[in-house]
Structure 1
Amino acid sequence: MAKQNKPKQVPDTGYEWDGIRELTNPPPRWWMISFHASWIFCIIYFVLYPAIPLVNDYTKGILGWTQIKEFKEAVAENDAIKAPYLKKVAEMDGQALMADAGMRNFADSSAKAIFGDSCAGCHGTGGEGAPGLFPNLSDDAWLFGGDFDTIVESITDGREGSMPAHIDTIDEAGINKLADFVIAAAQGKATPEGLAHFNASGCADCHGEDAAGGAINDLGSGAANLTDAIWRFGSSKEEVLRTIRYGVNEDPDEVPNTRIAIMPAFGEKLSPEAIKMLAVKVHQFGGGK
């Protein structure tokens, strides 16, 4: 009878459960190589880079690398690349900057972050504004002018609209007639009688005899165009009445319900080059003149 070979017995830990023994086979060679490579890598990393927190400090590593240092180096590299373009922006006037396709694209793309940091909080990421709060920069309604130089002036020095409160100078019936005229004018349905009352009330001094706005009539007042159906504070009669009664940017202590419409100046916060590039972006939102 042939001799039968018994399977090789592998030592075990002595633990068995449901017929399954826990063996003491060594791990595979590839696993051991990976294990030793990992702790060697950790030691090298700890020597080269910041790694171990201490009580008041941390190990710096012999390379002296930090995220802040890497960030500053990247910023410096980016600034070096942009420097010649910014020099051109500083040397070019608005007309030349807008006419040069390459520089216009550089200004527009560079202004994206500036606009996001300084302007989007009020005017929205696309310049769409917020009804009743902040003007829309993507339409063609400009209180102070939409040409490049005027946009630069608005960004640099800020703007503060002004409209007197009429609650103490015009009776309630007269204010209601004015509100009706304003709403009708925006719809293209203004009557001669309404326009006559509008002019007699002194509104034409700012808004023009045709109610088409100060900037359009070159009055320089920044008064809104009342005929274009673009509303700064809302188109309902209630909102129109509030604006007429309490005005814009009156002293809140004296006229508590006055509208507040103030754009801050950025001349001391942004460089002239940044303001020029912002002006390009605002001009290109769609309404630049």
Structure 2
Amino acid sequence: MAHNNPWPDEGNTGHIWDEDIRELDNPPPLWWMLSLYAGFVMMVFYALYYPTIPLKDSHFEGLAGWTQIEEYKEDKAVLENWRKAKFAEQEEQLAALSVDEILKNDELKTYAVKTSKVLFGDYCAACHGAGGQGNPNFPVLADDDWLWGGKPAQIKASISNGRVGNMPARGMMGNLSDEEIGQVADYVIALSEGNADQPKYAAGKAVYTKGMCLACHGPAGKPLAPAGATNLTDGVWRFSGDRDEVIKTITYGVNVKKGGELTENTRKAVMPAFKERLPDPEVNIKRLAVYVYSLGGGQ
């Protein structure tokens, strides 16, 4: 930078490089200044036209009365009307056919599955996982272990009416001692591992019979019919297969109530009914039943 200014009357700032490169002090072009002033005018217009000014308890709604919510509703209505027109035939078929009939129609089944993903994410994934893989203390939907049956009509009934698990505390009428609960817990874990016939589990097997566990879970640990009881032989656990957790389930039961209230430490296993929660439940329950069945665990 030069210390001497060879062009003192030029209107430069005195900053000179490489002998003749100067920084001038000329005013901005007129078009640039007009754009700057126009920008300030637009800021005032924008602030008055749109809801941009916060107030003490609310906000200035703007002269246009425009809101993002209204625009969203308008755009959503356009999209929904387009969908109704484009997929009217498929929706009519979903409403008219049973879940079994939908599953037999590959094209309609594919449509039901694709249009169920968002619905499943909104209403089911919080408990059952985004892909039906389950979450802690909630059932997996992608295997072949079903408490209430995995046939299409049974899945539809579960979604529609909900399910409430039930298991008495400490065996039938609470007639098991702590020692017996430990023995039957070991036997139940052995059933899941396929080695329950070993002599060391004989005491637990006797308790299994005494406590009337077989009434729900079957003589060999496998329920004779899907009615809410777990299959104890497949290694799939509704809560946990850890010994302490199995003991807790046997000790305190599932959804055990006293005086109309759940008892302390009892397992909570409730699936709400969705026939009054879902939009357009008549169609969407069937849609979800097809989706759940298609996750891979449908019987």
TM-score range, shorter chain: 0.7 to 0.9
Q: SS of 1:285's equivalent? A: helix
Alpha-carbon separation, structure 1, partners of 2:125 and 2:181: 35
Given candidates 184, 203, 224, the residue that maps to 1:178 is 184
Q: SS of 1:25's equivalent? A: coil
Structure 1 match to 2:255: 249
Letter in 2 for 1:73: E
Q: SS of 1:286's equivalent? A: helix
Structure 2 match to 1:71: 72
Alpha-carbon separation, structure 2, partners of 1:67 and 1:118: 26
Matches within 5 A, 1:1-289: 9-11=9-11, 16=14, 23-27=24-28, 31=32, 35=36, 42=42, 46=46, 50=50, 53=53, 57-61=60-64, 65-83=66-84, 84=88, 85-131=90-136, 133-166=137-170, 168-191=174-197, 193=202, 194-213=204-223, 217-218=224-225, 220-251=226-257, 255-270=263-278, 271-289=281-299
Gaps of 5+ in 1: 1-5
Contact 1:126 1:285 in 2 (8 A): yes
Q: SS of 2:155's equivalent? A: helix
Alpha-carbon separation, structure 2, partners of 1:103 and 1:29: 66
Contact 2:48 2:62 in 1 (8 A): no
Moved more, 143-152 or 26-35: 26-35
Alpha-carbon separation, structure 1, partners of 2:154 and 2:262: 32
Letter in 2 for 1:244: I
Letter in 1 for 2:113: D
For normalisation by structure 1, the TM-score amounts to 0.80
Alpha-carbon separation, structure 2, partners of 1:98 and 1:9: 90
Alpha-carbon separation, structure 2, partners of 1:73 and 1:184: 60
Alpha-carbon separation, structure 2, partners of 1:44 and 1:257: 63
Contact 2:51 2:66 in 1 (8 A): no
Inter-CA distance 242–135: structure 2 relative to 1 (3 Å threshold): same
* Regions of 4+ moved over 6 Å: 17-22
Moved more, 142-151 or 73-82: 73-82
Gaps of 5+ in 2: 1-5
Alpha-carbon separation, structure 2, partners of 1:67 and 1:28: 38
Contact 1:181 1:191 in 2 (8 A): no
Alignment length, in residue pairs? 274
Deviation of 1:204 after TM superposition, in Å, equals 1.2
Inter-CA distance 70–255: structure 2 relative to 1 (3 Å threshold): closer
Deviation of 1:259 after TM superposition, in Å, equals 0.9
Deviation of 1:88 after TM superposition, in Å, equals 2.3
Alpha-carbon separation, structure 2, partners of 1:109 and 1:254: 39
For normalisation by structure 2, the TM-score amounts to 0.78
- Identity of paired residues, percent? 39
Contact 2:164 2:271 in 1 (8 A): yes
Structure 2 match to 1:3: none
Moved more, 28-37 or 255-264: 28-37
Letter in 2 for 1:158: G
